[in-house]
Structure 1
């Protein structure tokens, strides 16, 4: 019979419930879709900018992680640093609710992500303080599982309700997103209280305060030498670098990718809710199966699932992109052919802002609303050429025979997005939880923060490479589907390293 969780373990697990709200609302679902739509309306490629911003944020935390980890191992420092990053992440998320310009949104996202990732560095290293090696898989898996079913699901449902039904109460989609960000801050801080109250740093290194920085730098090089000289540690962390890169990129880019393809925002959000519901039992299942067949084998299972995810994701985009491009070009052509005396600025605004709703079933109605706004802005209400252009474009958008191929492709790609959501949910929590607990079991507990600092830097540098790789291929080819396909390389390399060194890693 499995022993019940003690107070420290429960409090540690509950922080996953607390911070998962950020991962879902800000990183994965609500905010990326909102940003992508705002960027698209302004004439920017939302997924490309989001990829570069994510890479910048992870690069910053990756560069500082070893020093933060080394300092955190000194007596009394781990909790202080954890609290500082927690407050940065939560409070900047609150400020993000009041940002309207896309560059301010990106800056706020980068800063809040640094707070989130920095607090997670110390949170992960506390695993060795709250439990024993033989219980780490279970504690780590329950953390991820509870995060998915609680922090990822409950606030997510509230956000879905605000976005879907808020109009009935005077809450438009923009305000709904802002309220979701405020909810994220409140939830994150409120459920962090048990961790702050009950979790203690039991393993630490003694050092005089005057020599703290000097010893921290010395310990960075010592830890690096220990990792390089210990084959088991080195092999695992290199494999982890590649496969967790792919996992993180899928988390960061999924909704931006779907939004770029024109998938319906509400359907994507509901599909991601399904991911959270699937992830809870699957995270626990990964933990139990690892006890029967081994952690390394279960990690390989997770990698294989993600390779399938990349394949399905590629086909989802590759199938719809030609129809999407053709329909957008036809929309632009109709506007241009009927421009007459209408200024280029007004026409371009109709083109850029109109692209954000071309996939919508009520695209014609939304176009007329947009045209009315632009007509007032440029004082074109009585302009015969403008009115003719609006009528011609409205007729084009209202003719469903002209959009049949695009609409059919949208239906197929939306179905594939639902399938992707289930596949990701089946492995996302398990592969992350087992990676964290496996690493925790093979490092010295009194130096957990130093080692988790390097664990984090490998994960974060990987997270720089993945989104940048996606953005680069999408940018160069003009097809986001090629960007998602490129991630297969990362999972393949990570899986091969694990398989070739399975005996060593299972010792």
Structure 2
């Protein structure tokens, strides 16, 4: 990895957390929904696992989003950022370790047994997501500690790139090889969830060892109460800062498309009846292509600016929503995977570094990234919930049009209706991306008033 030579030890150690937590992103976010869909099929109410998964994702994001600003301000107390990062990282790791036990539970014995296992999967998924997202608040805030403003685009983008080639690719490849050589699927799932927990923990060590909080203020009596009050002060500052306010609202909408497509892709493919192994191979392709496309985004951002390249990513994701609506075969899922690979890492990485540059006081980066995170997470509530609502509404209408209900329809009829309703849920995501695009391209000031905050 010669391209790492120009980066410092602290920058590389920071990037390695993307390598560590990306195992959660691909294994838990994309493979777990397939397992949950299988378990849900044995429960008494198996009409739409896609809808249930969407609502569970929204609940996890809501918990993090509502607490994010307060978590962020506590991270600005000198010495607290790493402690809080460690605590939430461990919550995520332990939850994923718990998921490794669920494939070995007998969920086929009865609908009640399946319901218990499904509930356990959802609870562990929610807590692992809380650990993942809350740790990322402090991880993002460390960006201003480990590098300089002129290097943020490169460091942030390469972090995502390393995540793709490492944590996203290697565990998924191991899972596919185990499956290909004949290891029983449930054994593969149990092993890969356990490996994900170990991977996440081990590769978090470089950040814990080499990265220190250089900003923030020493703790004094009364700082906890003052920090909570600062949340509302920061809220007022963001409201009075036009570039930051417009950017963060725009981000709220356009990143929704990115997060929703990531979290719902395999559940959507399963609803359409696509082959699970084929979908996972397509997702492996996304991870393999992730690093080169992140490097391409990094180079193009150096030439054209991060702002332009984020705009390119927004356009790509609007097209993805339309393409997904018409998708009905595995080869089209592969095409969708390639489209996602072109911009998935680049748009997230450059959005993060753009916001880092807009922060007026780097000593309060935790506070500001807490608000950045709340906008990102609330968008992640809206997207899956919208997909779940539109899919369920459309499915129920289709049942009613045929004079059926969930109780009277056969399993084959339910599967067919879910497959027909799913595309409308995916297409609905384009509406909120369009709102973000209008704000980003039409309202966000072209030139910032502060030369230090050019994006």
TM-score range, shorter chain: 0.7 to 0.9
Matches within 5 A, 1:346-495: 413-443=329-359, 444-478=361-395, 479-495=421-437
Which of the residues 150, 154, 173 maps onto 1:134? Answer: 150
Give how far 1:164 is off.
Answer: 2.7
**Aligned residue in 1 for 2:267:** 256
Kept in 1: contact 2:48–2:392 (CA 8 A): no
TM-score, length basis structure 2: 0.87
Contact 1:55 1:465 in 2 (8 A): yes
Aligned to 2:413: none
Contact in 2 for aligned 1:232/1:504 (Cα 8 Å): no
1:5-29 CA distance string (max 9 Å, x none): 111001001111111000000012x
Using the alignment, how far apart are the partners of 1:296 and 1:485 within structure 2?
Answer: 26
> Is 2:50 the partner of 1:38?
no
Q: Take 1:425 and 1:201, find their aligned partners in 2: how far apart are those partners? A: 33
The alpha carbon displacement at 1:491 in A equals 1.4
String of CA shifts for 1:191-221, please: whole Å, max 9, x gaps: 111110000000112331x312211112101
**After the TM superposition, which parts of structure 1 deviate over 6 Å for at least 4 consecutive aligned residues?**
none
The equivalent residue for 2:438 is: 496
Q: C-alpha distance in 1, partners of 2:69/2:241?
A: 18
What's the TM-score, normalizing by structure 1? 0.78
1:37–1:259: 8 Å Cα contact kept in structure 2?
no
2:234 maps to what in 1?
Answer: 223
Deviation at 1:138, TM superposition (A): 0.2
1:56 & 1:288 partners in 2: Cα distance? 37
Q: Distance in 1 between matches of 2:150 and 2:89?
A: 29
Task: Choose the corresponding residue for 1:13, options 6, 12, 15.
Answer: 15
Seen in structure 2, the aligned counterparts of structure 1 residues 122 and 2 have a Cα distance that, compared at 3 Å, is closer
CA distance in 2, matches of 1:207, 1:178: 43
For 1:117, which of 133, 140, 144 is the aligned residue? 133
* Residue pair 1:164, 1:266 contacting (<8 A) in 2 also: no
- In 2 relative to 1, CA 2–163 (structure 1 residues): closer, same or farther, beyond 3 Å? closer
- RMSD of aligned alpha carbons: 1.4
Secondary structure of 1:109's counterpart equals helix
Instruction: State which of 54, 59, 63 in structure 1 corresponds to 2:62.
Output: 59
Name 2:408's counterpart in structure 1: none
Q: Shift in Å at residue 161 of structure 1?
A: 1.4
Report the CA distance between 1:2 and its aligned residue. Answer: 10
Equivalent in the alignment of 1:149: 165
- Deviations, residues 446-465 of structure 1 (Å, cap 9, x unaligned): 00000000000000011000
Counting matched residue pairs gives 406
Larger radius of gyration between Structure 1 and Structure 2: 1
